[in-house]
Structures are given as C-alpha cells and as structure tokens.
Amino acid sequence: MDIQLDGVQKTLLMPLYGRAKLSRVSNDLLVDSKAVEIVDSLDFDFSAIEKNTTYAGHIYYLVRAKIIDDSILDYLENHPQATIINLGSGLDTTFYRIDNKLIRWYDIDLPGVIELRNMLIPETERSKYIKSSIFDMDWIKSIKSSNNILFICTGVFEYFDKEQVVEFLVSLAENFPGSEIIFNTTSNNKLNSYFVKKNMKKMGMNASPTRMGNIINCLKRLRDKLTIVEYYSLESKIELKKIFDKKILKQLKNYYAVMRVKIIHLRLSSDTAVI
C-alpha cells in the first residue's frame, strides 16, 4: 500500500518501524506483531529511517511503548471498563497489546492519518477513530464516556510549543475532570535540538520533536487544575541489563543523556478556577 504523508505526520513511521524492527528479533521487552504486519503491508522505503536512526533510537520506541503498556494495564486493574483516548495516535498499535476485551478505545489524529490508519487497521466495535487535530476540542463531542478516562499521548507534544500544550492540558482538565493522562517529554537543549533536526531532515521530515522541552515546572504551578501522579526518566522504569548487551547499553546511556526523556502522569482536577 502506497502512503502519502507530509511534515510532522510522516514522523509516525519512525516509532512504527522501530517497534517492527525489534519485534523481528528475539527480545524480552515487547513484541509488536501488529507493527510488523503494518510495515510489511506498506509500499514505503524505510531505508532513510534505518540509516539515520541509531539502534538505541529504535530501542527507545520499544521502551516507551512498554512503559505506556504497563501504565495502561495498571490503570485497568482498578478500571477494567475504562475509556482510553490516544491523542495523536498515528499508526500506534497499543490497543492490540493491552486489550482486555472490556475497554473502549479512541484514536484521534488528523484526517489523512486516520484515513491511512483505517485502511491498515480498521475500526472495531470497541476501537473507534476520530479525524481531528487534538487541539481542536470539537472532538470531545465524539467521546461517549465521562468516567474512568485515561489519555495517552506519546511522541506528539514535543512538536508543539510549551504554552500550547499547557493550555491544552488545562482544557482537558476542564472538560474531563477526574481523568488522567500519561505523556512523554524530550529535552530541547541546543545539542539535542541540533542533532535531532539534522537527522529528521536527512529522513525527509521537516519537523523537530524538541520544541516543548520539559514542562514539569509549569505543571507544578497548576495544582488547582491537576495533580502530578508520577514523574520519572524513561530509563529509570525498566531494567534492560538482562535484555541487551553491554555495547548496546552504552549506546542507550548516551542516547538517554542527550534526549533526557521524561514520562509524566497527571490526574486532572475538577477545579476550574481561573489561573
């Protein structure tokens, strides 16, 4: 299947390819057979992504997916019939790894992405798609649940300015009080921004996932809107020593030192007082 994506949309191929690549080899972290299936069905030359992404970069996508999987499964222990809303879903395949046969799932992304997604991974009775920018809050009208909602957002916010993301989180808190959200941040230091932007250009992607930076200090000032449930570095959550050899672990250490990826888990408040 031929695909046509522009700008930031094209970046959805990077985590998809990373998960598929490492799922083809033996690993004890995460196997994403759906990602392999999708990559095999696409008429797309992934050589630029392969050439300009380090092995540590591919592992990053796998680790991030594993952390999100585990976070959702933890939430489902207490809320087995929860509604999960995947913001800027791209070709994410989390639903197929964590589905407990009870959840309701929504994937939200721009029309072109959702059209591609629907051709590759058709909707199901409990997994629905919404064509919209996540920042256009009209998509709220399509959500058929108001209780036990968990938002996930990976590899998305860092393409936008900090102010826009904070405003969006406040809007979520006002519209979905009591819900929770889990997302990642990456460093916007000059070194990281330079090399990331350079590599993205080599891959034919006019985008840079370093705009937002870490917003934890902004969030701490919004205690009337949200509660920080967890805040931790990506590498602190999963033990990789028994999965990868020393050479790869060294690459990962250097990668993490530059990227400084953080995971933030928030509980959104019902207090709508003006900031």
CATH of the domain at 25: 3.40.50.150
Instruction: List C-alpha distances in Å: 141 to 60, 113, 132, 240.
Output: 34, 20, 12, 42
The answer to whether position 128 is within a domain reads yes
The answer to whether position 139 is within a domain reads yes
What does the pLDDT read at residue 269? 83
* Tens digits of residue pLDDT in 8-38: 677 889 999 999 999 998 788 999 999 999 9
* Tens digits of residue pLDDT in 100-139: 999 999 999 999 999 999 999 999 999 999 999 999 999 9
* Tens digits of residue pLDDT in 225-264: 899 999 999 888 888 887 888 888 888 888 888 888 899 9
Under 8 Å between Cβ of 60 and 261: yes
Structural domains counted in the chain:
1
The answer to whether position 172 is within a domain reads yes
Under 8 Å between Cβ of 197 and 145: no
156: confidence class by pLDDT, cuts 50, 70, 90: very high
Domain enclosing residue 31, as ranges: 7-268
Residue recorded with tokens 């050899």: 245
The answer to whether position 2 is within a domain reads no
CA pair distance 118, 274, nearest whole angstrom: 40
The answer to whether position 258 is within a domain reads yes
The answer to whether position 184 is within a domain reads yes
The answer to whether position 1 is within a domain reads no
